[in-house]
Chains A and B, each alone.
Chain A
Amino acid sequence: MKLRSVLVANRGEIAVRIIRAAKALGIRTVQVYSAADADMLAVKLADEAIEIGPPAPKKSYLNIEAVIAAAKRADVDAVHPGYGFLSENGDFADAVVAAGLIFIGPSGDAIRLLGDKVAARAVAEKAGVPTVPGSDGRISSLTEALAVTERTGFPVMIKAAAGGGGRGIRIVNDPAELETQFPQASAEALASFGDGGLYLEKVITRARHVEVQILGDGTDVVHCYERECSLQRRRQKVWEEAPSFLLPSDVRKKLCDSAVALARSVGYRGAGTVEYLYDDETREFYFIEVNTRIQVEHPVTEMITGIDLVEEMFRIAAGAPLSVRQADIAVKGHAIECRINAEDPRRGFMPAPGKIERLDVPEGEGIRFDTMLYEGYVIPPFYDSLLGKLIVWGEDRSACLARLSQALAELKIEGVPTTIPLHRALAADAQIATGAFHTRFLETWLETEFAADGGRAAEVA
């Protein structure tokens, strides 16, 4: 069949990205928006726009009934959920299908299975994917938790079974801390996720965050190689690369093959990401979780493989088989993405909404800027602080870094503070150049390197 129209059930830069992909495929676009988002770029670009509720996300972008009603009213064929909001809500996927429409993503059952961290871990183990040492599934008591730590040692993470995206995680260093934190974590998980289920995982110190992009059509699965996303602050990714350039090629093959094996074992359909921790010293990788949606950092993969992942999602949803075979997918060069947020890195990353007074976007070969911004746009305070993503490609990593520094010097956003100064400092940093970083690198670096001069050294350069 052919998809003729799509409802974009998201906002911000990813809504713009989805609309552009749809237009390239000749698909009519209908954008939903909250009362605070009438002026957003995606509304201007879409063929049609429908207001779905007040500014609060739970009354608009998280309101399943309102989104489904808009889809019916607009008489679309399909719904694209983007990332965040309802993108990993199995009940939403079911509601879309029940309304006679196509959900651009996996089935509700697959979302629920892979979204439950404990169930996903079991799927991974069954598919032969290494998992972080920890509890075999949910643990119901402190006694059980203490028994697990006799095997794993400390520190361990207490994780909420229904958590994800870095939320619902506590690290404990000894049995006494475990005793105090276990009941608190359970109560918090129940309050935050409606499910008090917990599990334990050993903390892998000095690990890299490496993730594999997969595409499945329900029968076949391919991978589009890996991304390196170790530079994080408060468990939120700040800067992402592809490929993970220090990964030995035999490890890369095993890692990517394991992601395909996992996805194949559940008949995965759509774009997805299998996340891992990788230990440079032992060369071991461990499964963390599966994200059953397009990710913020997908463009770095597109830059090194030439595959348009969002267009591919549309084709898969329309029932077409994968347009690429594994043998056709190759890595060319290196790509880095910088997340540009409306936050002041010199003032504790305080977010600041406001009006964009000036926007100068760098252009040229190997430079891409995915954004929701235009001059005069007033950023509302009700949603996350991501303004855009600067993605730069080079023949190799050092060429990529050089081009990135130039592009960051040319990128100008005035009116609100942004994280551009942080990225300029990172692009000029000697440790970043060697690639000697892990998931806890950035927070320390911010205190020791960046705080020392607030990134001013890189500003002058």
Chain B
Amino acid sequence: MSKHEIRSPLPGTFYRSPAPDVPPFKTDGDAVSSSDAIGLIEVMKTFQEIQAGVAGGSIRFLVDNEEPVMAGQVIAEVEQ
């Protein structure tokens, strides 16, 4: 089994949900397909959707909701 890392393309703030008070896009252990949204990055008050970019049996998040991230930082890992 290999692990695929999902990296943030931009610096900003990471959000696990599409809006406050709604469930997260994905929770640890969920299966993902390549086009699934896994979070949002807020950069200078605009929001960019982050997609898994890879299909896998189980996702594990390494960054909490509303945490700052650097460009290139690993947000989550997907087991393939």
Contact = CB atoms under 8 A, between A and B. Distances in A.
B68 interface: yes
B21 A191 contact: yes
Interface stretch (A168-176, A305-313, A381-389, A445-453): A381-389
B44 A351 contact: yes
A55 B42 CA distance: 12
A381 B20 contact: no
Interface string A346-386: 00001111000000000000000000000000001111110
B66 A56 contact: yes
A383 B44 contact: yes
A382 B21 contact: no
Contacts of B43: 351-353, 381
B13 A381 contact: yes
Given A191-B21, A351-B44, A381 B66 contact: no
B2 interface: no
A383 B13 CA distance: 10
B13 A382 contact: yes
Contacts of B45: 351, 383-385
Contacts of A342: 44
B11 to A, nearest CB: 4
A36 interface: yes
A191 B44 contact: no
Contact of B68 (A36, A343, A384, A385): A36
Given A351-B46, A383-B44, A55 B68 contact: yes
Interface residues of B, number: 14
B11 A353 contact: yes
B20 A353 contact: no
* Chain A binding surface, main DSSP class: loop
A352 B12 CA distance: 10
A385 B44 contact: yes
B10 interface: yes
B11 A381 contact: yes
Interface in B8-58: 10-13, 19-21, 42-46
Contacts of B19: 191
Given A351-B43, A353-B43, A353-B44, A381 B12 contact: yes
A381 B21 contact: no
A54 B68 CA distance: 9
Given A56-B13, A351-B43, A382 B68 contact: yes
Contacts of A380: 11
A381 B19 CA distance: 19
Contacts of A343: 44
A385 B46 CA distance: 10
A351 B10 CA distance: 10
Contacts of A54: 68
Contacts of A353: 11-12, 43-44
Interface of B: 10-13, 19-21, 42-46, 66, 68
Instruction: Across the A-B interface, give the 6 residue pairs with the lowest CB-CB distance, nearest first.
Output: A351-B44, A385-B44, A381-B12, A381-B11, A381-B43, A55-B68
Interface of A: 36, 54-56, 191, 342-343, 350-353, 380-385
7 contacts: A56-B68, A351-B44, A352-B44, A353-B43, A381-B11, A382-B68, A383-B44
Given A352-B44, A385-B45, 4 more contacts: A56-B13, A351-B43, A352-B43, A353-B12
